[in-house]
Structure 1
Amino acid sequence: MNPAFQSLASACPYAWPVTGDWRVADTALLVIDMQRDFLDPDGYFAALGENASELREAVGPAAKVLALARRLGMRVIHTREGHRPDLADLNDTKRARALAMGAPIGGPGPLGRLLVRGEPGWDSIAEMAPVDDEIVIDKCGNGAFHATDLDQVLRANGIRNLWLVGVTTDVCVSSTMREANDRGYDVLLISDACCAATSALHAATLAGIEREGGVFGAHISSSALLEAVR
């Protein structure tokens, strides 16, 4: 089964996708960094001095979008940010910034070493954990295309369109959206299924997407998406 759907007229700033109808087989859901290190009060994000509870506002809507994608049979791909245990993939700039914020990457934390692969904090939260054959992309940067095989995976599976949910809107989600746009994918960010450290940062990211007729793609609320796609 490969059902086709009409373009989503309620997306902003254009009816998505811009080329018209879309199909389940050519569209994938990217779940960006829904990990304990970002969403747990004992994780890396909290160690930076941020309020992780703010990010949890995205969990409910994101879980609904994930359930929809699974029901439709869409390809679901999860990303996790984290570094090798030996930190060989951690550049000096990122290392110094985290250290200056009092959250040294690889340092000890309640959920194990901060932002390190294989530690409890690196795991996906239970509500958004991968199942069955869902693909997981492990990354060491903000954008999911940087130093990963994500583009190869998408093209090998015939994917042209992307839905994005996850955290944070202004950093890893936005970085991934821009990278995908530059590679020719039409990206739809599910606005309330993403969250930033502050509502102002979240709103500014959405406003930036709307510039120039949708310079990086489009966005839509989870309720509008679920209403349009049944």
Structure 2
Amino acid sequence: MNWKTSYRSFYYEGAPEPEDIVLTPEDTAVLVVDIQSIYLKESDDPAQNVRWEPFRQRMREVVIPNTARLLEQARAKGVEVMFARIACLKENGRDRSLSQKKPGWNYLLLPKGSADSALVPELQPMGDEIVFCKTTDSLLTGTNARLILQNMGIRKVVVAGIFTDQCISSTVRSLADESFDVVVVEDCCAAATKELHDHELEIINMIYCQVASLEETLAFIA
């Protein structure tokens, strides 16, 4: 893919190509969103396992190994690495936002100490890397992440994780509204289906972020 011309929505068909991106370690952070054990866990329902297998396959074969490589290169270049995970503070989940309390697929009761809420083994923080616990889709809405990013002098955020059309999109929009420059790494993200993934990237690209591949993103890092 070519990040300057890919994932163009109706709004940006024929728009000029964006300027080159340079990510300097001093003001850049890599943010990994919600790559947690619960989403790789198989269901007791065989039909649901079949339905979700394409997503899990993309996670195992593409998103997790690519994100691990992104973190390795970021750390080697001195880029700050941060994580977000869905994790409520109360065992009964009273502190969750309404979107996570509503019945249906998005209902999530993930107490912070539970195994299901843990980050996957391949993507663990190192040293004093920050892990935010959130009970909202948007990281900035549900935590003090904006204040911490500003205190640390971060102005550019590289985003990886799941789900592209939910927590990734909400977080990216919030970051953009707070005037952060955002890069979403396409092959470090996933939605439930490839169609949802691609469609959401078209919606947010060039308005709220720039969408790029892992290889392109690594080339952006000075």
The residue correspondences of 1:205-224 to structure 2 (distance < 5 A) are 205-210=200-205, 214-224=206-216
Aligned length, in residue pairs: 202
Confirm whether residue 124 of structure 1 aligns to residue 119 of structure 2. Answer: yes
Confirm whether residue 37 of structure 1 aligns to residue 29 of structure 2. Answer: no
Which runs of no fewer than 5 residues in structure 1 stay unpaired? 1-8, 107-114
User: Partners in 2 of 1:42 and 1:167 — Cα distance?
Assistant: 19
SS of residue in 1 equivalent to 2:186: strand
Distance 1:171 1:225, change over 3 A: same
CA contact (8 A) 1:28 1:77 kept: yes
Query: What amino acid maps onto 1:225 in structure 2?
Result: T
- 2:14 match: none
CA contact (8 A) 1:82 1:138 kept: yes
- 1:95 match: 101
CA contact (8 A) 2:24 2:221 kept: no
User: Partners in 1 of 2:166 and 2:99 — Cα distance?
Assistant: 16
State the 1:209 CA deviation. Answer: 2.3
State the 1:136 CA deviation. Answer: 0.6
- 2:141 match: 146
Distance 1:189 1:16, change over 3 A: farther
CA contact (8 A) 1:55 1:196 kept: no
SS of residue in 2 equivalent to 1:122: coil
The residue correspondences of 1:44-193 to structure 2 (distance < 5 A) are 50-51=52-53, 53-56=56-59, 57-83=62-88, 84-91=90-97, 94-98=100-104, 101=105, 105-106=108-109, 115-193=110-188
TM-score by length of 1: 0.79
Q: CA RMSD in A?
A: 2.5
Distance 1:90 1:226, change over 3 A: closer
User: Partners in 2 of 1:197 and 1:64 — Cα distance?
Assistant: 22
- 1:199 match: 194
TM-score by length of 2: 0.81
User: Partners in 2 of 1:192 and 1:93 — Cα distance?
Assistant: 26
User: Partners in 1 of 2:212 and 2:138 — Cα distance?
Assistant: 21
User: Partners in 2 of 1:36 and 1:164 — Cα distance?
Assistant: 19
User: Partners in 1 of 2:165 and 2:102 — Cα distance?
Assistant: 21
